[in-house]
Chains A and B, each alone.
Chain A
Amino acid sequence: MSRPMLLLSQLLVAVVALALWQFFATVPVFGKILLPPFFFSNPVDVGSQIVKWFSSGVIWKHLIITLWESILAFVIGSIGGVLVGFWFARQPRVAAVFDPYVKMVNALPRVVLAPIFTLWLGLGIWSKVALGVTLVFFIVFFNVYQGVKEVSNTVLDNGRMLGMNERQLMRHVYWPSALSWMFSSLHTSVGFAVVGAVVGEYLGSAAGLGYLIQQAEGVFDVAGVFAGMFVLSAFVILIDMGVTLVERRLLVWRPAAAEGRG
């Protein structure tokens, strides 16, 4: 399929879905409205809600808060994951001691930590950042750990035969290998940073997209809930496109087949 054709088809899916939604929410079929407005709202109301948010400018504050929380969660979680991943991979004894605890914490559904973080860090952005960090950290940690462990022995031997000392092996072999694993999970970890931020906001906050959705839900404003969802989806898609650009730049040395991951 050619590119314009593909875009057209993709657009068509959205148009048809929205049209069906609008139709069943407003036109009675056999004397009955199949999608009662109270539960399902309708695309026109949702659209006008979104337009209202943007034209009045209230949405920007919430978007920026969520963006900040996501960025902080991603950066802090990644730095922690890289450092600990490296440390564990180079010190198998440490890794063995901590192994059950790492598994335990990772198995924990992170949502249950939200109340604790709210208690510790308050209703501001840091409790959301903390939730995002617990999600991002483990993804980055496992990938970096794997990346350092799975360095090809031949490449390592080659480094040694070329005269590299331990520090140089670290810089020229272990480090790029670990980073490449981390970057290959960039989509997942960035996605989880956003999830952490939004879930945190939803569970208790004073600003952000999650807060907006939660507020609308509190007054049974279904159009507001849907509008929040759409804005959130667009936000995530934009971030994901940004990640794809960064990834293309950073992983040029990778064969194309490996790029499709994530």
Chain B
Amino acid sequence: MADTAQPMAVALDSATVAFRVAGDRVYTAVEKANLSVAHGEFVAIVGPTGCGKSTLLNVAAGLLKPAAGSVKIFDQPLTGSNRDAGYLFQADALFPWKTAIDNVAIGLEIKGAPREQALQRAHGWLTSVGLGAFANRYPHMLSGGQRKRVGLAQVLIRDPKILLMDEPFGPLDAQTRQIMGNLLLELWNADRKAVLFVTHDLEEAIALADRVVIMSAGPSARIIGDWRVKLPRPRDISEVRMEKDFHELHREIWGVLKDEVMKGYVQSTQAVGAG
């Protein structure tokens, strides 16, 4: 990436994340990660299970503090939680006691927006994620895919400059994932935010992102590869997979990723055996 005058939306500089486990032992999840996301850039992080992808995302979100290294958001060192970022979680993160529309409106209400206005805009966002008719449903009355849509609206209504996504479509079935992927691209196309998208699905990563970053298996996971995806936009997730360039890139990245996935798999089975 060429250096431009514009500051990077997210810049991790040799960020190391370590946890204290069982007394004095320290588990290093991520070691010296350098990662930057330009303004308006869609970056996907792919790695084997348990490699610390989500850890890295939590560092960018300010939910975790790196043990060493620095995190800068638009050139400012990050302290506390990242106010410029919206975070879409893998697990259900909606407030179960609020209706869909209240879940979306809350982001504005806590900023002090009048309730009427917040509800009106929330309805607009629910409509743009295709849930205009479900405003008064509670989360448990919605399907997994619908809950993700509400989550997306909840995050986007605050108009964050950075979007952090932690395997957001992981729990969904294959068809719903494609639909959600296309919805995400459509919304992102409207006003390009910087996106950091964590997934274990390489195909999904290539189909969505401008850049694909590969992490090695943990512990002490590192970033071991960085590819540019030159597929034209706008893309359709299911069609882009048919293209020749897609396959070539997939083969190239998979060549690197495969070994790490196997390592990660062996480690995870050992960890289960030991635990």
Contact = CB atoms under 8 A, between A and B. Distances in A.
A157 B96 contact: no
Contacts of A163: 83, 107, 110-111, 158
B106 interface: yes
A154 B110 contact: no
B102 to A, nearest CB: 10
Contacts of B83: 163
Contacts, number: 63
A255 B94 CA distance: 14
A176 B63 contact: no
Chain A contact surface mostly: helix
A148 B85 CA distance: 27
A94 interface: no
A24 B98 CA distance: 58
B89 A157 contact: yes
Interface string A133-171: 000000000000000000010110111111110001000
B110 A161 contact: no
B95 interface: yes
A185 interface: no
Interface in B76-114: 81-83, 85-87, 89, 91-99, 106-107, 110-111
A161 B95 contact: no
Give the interface centre of B81, B86, B97, B106 by most chain A CB atoms within 10 Å: B97
Contact of B63 (A161, A168, A177): A161
B81 A252 contact: no
B138 interface: yes
Nearest to A173: B95
A175 to B, nearest CB: 10
A253 B140 CA distance: 7
A164 B111 CA distance: 8
Contacts of A255: 140
Contacts of A152: 91-93
A254 B140 contact: yes
A110 interface: no
B104 to A, nearest CB: 10
Contact of B95 (A157, A160, A176, A252): A176
B63 A157 contact: yes
A154 B89 CA distance: 7
A109 B9 CA distance: 62
A172 B86 contact: no
Interface in B97-133: 97-99, 106-107, 110-111
A249 to B, nearest CB: 13
Interface residues of B, number: 28
B110 A168 contact: yes
Interface in B115-166: 138-140, 154-155, 158
Nearest to A254: B140
A180 interface: yes
B4 to A, nearest CB: 28
Given A154-B93, A172-B106, A180-B97, A161 B140 contact: no
A168 B112 CA distance: 11
Given A253-B138, A253-B140, A254-B140, A154 B95 contact: no
Contact of B92 (A154, A160, A177, A180): A154
A188 to B, nearest CB: 21
A162 B99 CA distance: 17
B194 interface: no
B61 interface: yes
Contact of A160 (B81, B96, B98): B81
Those 3 A-B pairs whose CB atoms lie nearest each other, nearest first: A158-B93, A253-B138, A161-B87
22 contacts: A152-B91, A152-B93, A154-B93, A155-B94, A157-B63, A157-B89, A158-B89, A158-B93, A161-B81, A161-B85, A162-B106, A163-B158, A172-B95, A172-B98, A173-B95, A177-B97, A180-B97, A252-B138, A253-B97, A253-B98, A253-B99, A254-B140
Interface of B: 61, 63, 81-83, 85-87, 89, 91-99, 106-107, 110-111, 138-140, 154-155, 158
Given A154-B92, A163-B83, A163-B110, 12 more contacts: A152-B93, A155-B96, A157-B93, A158-B87, A158-B94, A161-B63, A161-B81, A161-B82, A161-B85, A162-B110, A172-B106, A254-B96
